[in-house]
């Protein structure tokens, strides 16, 4: 096992991390453990995804 630190451009971050994750040979470490979740740069995106998931679940339950 080896530990590497990778710096990637913000514009390509999502695509690069997605492809690296698909390899299933890596483990990612959260370096922001001391930060409050709501202060992180991506917090609004996570909130939007959670809201969308709730709406989809509601619609699915109404369709049943």
pLDDT at 36: 84
Residue 50's pLDDT is 93
Task: Give the pair of three-digit tokens for residue 16.
Answer: 């690069």
Q: What is the DSSP letter of 41?
A: T
Q: Is the pTM of this model over 0.75?
A: no
Backbone angles phi, psi at 17, to 5 degrees: -65, -35
Locate the domains of the chain by residue range: 36-64
Rg (CA), the chain: 16
Tens of pLDDT along 54-63? 999 999 999 9
User: What is the separation of C-alpha 52 from the centre of its chain, rounded to a whole number of angstroms?
Assistant: 15
């Amino acid at each position: 096992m080896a530990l590497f630190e990778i710096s990637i451009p913000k514009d390509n971050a999502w695509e690069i991390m997605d492809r690296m994750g698909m390899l299933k040979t890596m483990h990612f470490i959260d370096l922001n453990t001391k930060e409050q979740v709501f202060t992180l740069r991506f917090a609004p995106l996570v909130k939007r995804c959670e809201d969308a998931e709730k709406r989809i679940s509601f619609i699915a339950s109404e369709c049943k």
